[in-house]
Amino acid sequence: MESAGENLGGLSIAGGWISSSPNLDKNLGILSAEEIALAKMLLDKGQKHLFDHWPEPGVDDTRKKNFLHQVARLNSSYPGGLVSYIQNARKLLADSKAGKNPYDGFTPSVPSGEILTFGDEKFTLLEETGVRESRKAAFVLVAGGLGERLGYKGIKLALPSETTTNRCFLQYYIESILALQEASCRTVQGHGEAEIPLVIMTSDDTHAPTLSLLEANYYFGMKSSQVKLLKQEKVACLNDNDARLALDPNDSYKIQTKPHGHGDVHTLLFSSGLLNLWHRADIRWVLFFQDTNGLLFKGIPASLGVSATRGYQVNSLAVPRKAKEAMGGIAQLTHTDGTKMVINVEYNQLGPLLRATGHADGDVNCETGFSPFPGNINQLILELEPYIQELSKTRGAIAEFVNPKYKDSSKTSFKSSTRLECMMQDYPKSLPASAKIGFTVVDKWLAYAPVKNNPEDASKVPKGNPYHSATSGEMAVYRANCLMLKKAGVLVADPIIDIFNGQEVEVWPRVTWSPKWASTFTDVIWKVGKGCSISQRSTLVINGQNIVLDGLRLDGTLVITANDQADVKVTGHVQNKGWTIEHVDYKDNSIPQEIRIRGFKIYKIEQLELNYMESGKFQFKP
Tell me if 291 contacts ligand UGB by CB under 6 A.
yes
Contact 307, 288 (CB under 8 A): no
CA dist 539 and 508 (Å) reads 9
Nearer to ligand UGB, 167 or 260 (CB): 260
- What type of residue sits at position 465? N
Tell me if 201 contacts ligand UGB by CB under 6 A.
yes
Tell me if 444 contacts ligand UGB by CB under 6 A.
no
Nearer to ligand UGB, 31 or 150 (CB): 150
Q: What are the DSSP E strand ranges found in 296-351?
A: 314-319, 329-335, 340-345
Tell me if 423 contacts ligand UGB by CB under 6 A.
yes
Least Å distance, CB 524 to ligand UGB, is: 26
Q: Which of the ranges 139-147, 317-325, 409-417, 551-559 carries the binding residues for ligand UGB, by CB under 6 A?
A: 139-147
| 47: nearest Cα among 11, 21, 76 | 21
Number of Cβ within a 10 Å radius of residue 518: 25
Alpha helices in 395-513 (DSSP H): 444-447, 455-459, 470-487
Q: Which of the ranges 12-20, 74-82, 143-151, 555-563 carries the binding residues for ligand UGB, by CB under 6 A?
A: 143-151
The DSSP call for residue 204 is T
Considering only residues 377 through 396, tell me which ones interact with ligand UGB, judged by CB under 6 A: 377-378
Candidate residues 119, 145, 396, 556; the one interacting with ligand UGB per rule CB under 6 A: 145
| 552: nearest Cα among 621, 609, 493 | 621
Least Å distance, CB 150 to ligand UGB, is: 9
Number of Cβ within a 10 Å radius of residue 212: 12
* Cα angle: 335, vertex 341, 346; to 5 degrees: 95
Tell me if 299 contacts ligand UGB by CB under 6 A.
no
CA dist 5 and 8 (Å) reads 8
Tell me if 452 contacts ligand UGB by CB under 6 A.
yes
CA dist 33 and 379 (Å) reads 45
Q: How many residues bind ligand UGB (CB under 6 A)?
A: 23
CA-to-CA separations, 238 to 38, 102, 235, 501, 588, in angstroms, rounded: 18, 21, 9, 39, 40
Radius of gyration in angstroms for the set of CA atoms belonging to the chain, rounded to a whole number: 27
Least Å distance, CB 33 to ligand UGB, is: 34
For 17, the enclosing helix (H) or strand (E) is strand 16-19
Nearer to ligand UGB, 261 or 404 (CB): 261
- What type of residue sits at position 133? E
CA-to-CA separations, 536 to 216, 472, 581, in angstroms, rounded: 36, 18, 12
Candidate residues 27, 164, 313, 344; the one interacting with ligand UGB per rule CB under 6 A: 344
Tell me if 142 contacts ligand UGB by CB under 6 A.
yes
Nearer to ligand UGB, 241 or 425 (CB): 425
Nearer to ligand UGB, 122 or 258 (CB): 258
Q: Which of the ranges 158-166, 375-383, 509-517, 533-541 carries the binding residues for ligand UGB, by CB under 6 A?
A: 375-383
Tell me if 261 contacts ligand UGB by CB under 6 A.
yes
| 487: nearest Cα among 116, 124, 115, 119 | 119
Tell me if 262 contacts ligand UGB by CB under 6 A.
yes
Candidate residues 130, 197, 428, 450; the one interacting with ligand UGB per rule CB under 6 A: 450
Least Å distance, CB 567 to ligand UGB, is: 38
Least Å distance, CB 328 to ligand UGB, is: 4
Candidate residues 96, 290, 512, 545; the one interacting with ligand UGB per rule CB under 6 A: 290
Least Å distance, CB 143 to ligand UGB, is: 5
Nearer to ligand UGB, 377 or 532 (CB): 377
Number of Cβ within a 10 Å radius of residue 613: 10
Q: Which of the ranges 4-12, 33-41, 259-267, 564-572 carries the binding residues for ligand UGB, by CB under 6 A?
A: 259-267
Tell me if 328 contacts ligand UGB by CB under 6 A.
yes
Nearer to ligand UGB, 50 or 380 (CB): 380
Buried b (16+ CB within 10 A) or exposed e, 482-510: bbbbeebebebeebeebebbbbebebbbb
Alpha helices in 45-120 (DSSP H): 61-76, 81-97
Pairing of strands 413-418, 400-402: unpaired
Tell me if 50 contacts ligand UGB by CB under 6 A.
no
Candidate residues 107, 303, 376, 520; the one interacting with ligand UGB per rule CB under 6 A: 376
| Residue 519 neighbours by CB under 8 Å, 6+ apart | 131, 176, 179, 180, 183, 297, 301
* Exposure of 619 in the CB half-sphere (CA atoms within 13 A): 5
Tell me if 143 contacts ligand UGB by CB under 6 A.
yes
Tell me if 144 contacts ligand UGB by CB under 6 A.
yes
Least Å distance, CB 77 to ligand UGB, is: 13
Closest residue to ligand UGB, judged by C-beta, is: 145
For 172, the enclosing helix (H) or strand (E) is helix 169-186
Nearer to ligand UGB, 198 or 377 (CB): 377
Tell me if 259 contacts ligand UGB by CB under 6 A.
yes
| 449: nearest Cα among 474, 420, 486, 418 | 474
Nearer to ligand UGB, 43 or 350 (CB): 350
CA dist 293 and 450 (Å) reads 4
Q: Which of the ranges 258-266, 475-483, 490-498, 590-598 carries the binding residues for ligand UGB, by CB under 6 A?
A: 258-266
Nearer to ligand UGB, 259 or 578 (CB): 259
Q: Which of the ranges 113-121, 137-145, 429-437, 612-620 carries the binding residues for ligand UGB, by CB under 6 A?
A: 137-145
Which residues bind to ligand UGB, rule: CB under 6 A? 142-145, 201, 203, 232, 259-262, 290-291, 327-328, 344, 376-378, 423, 425, 450, 452
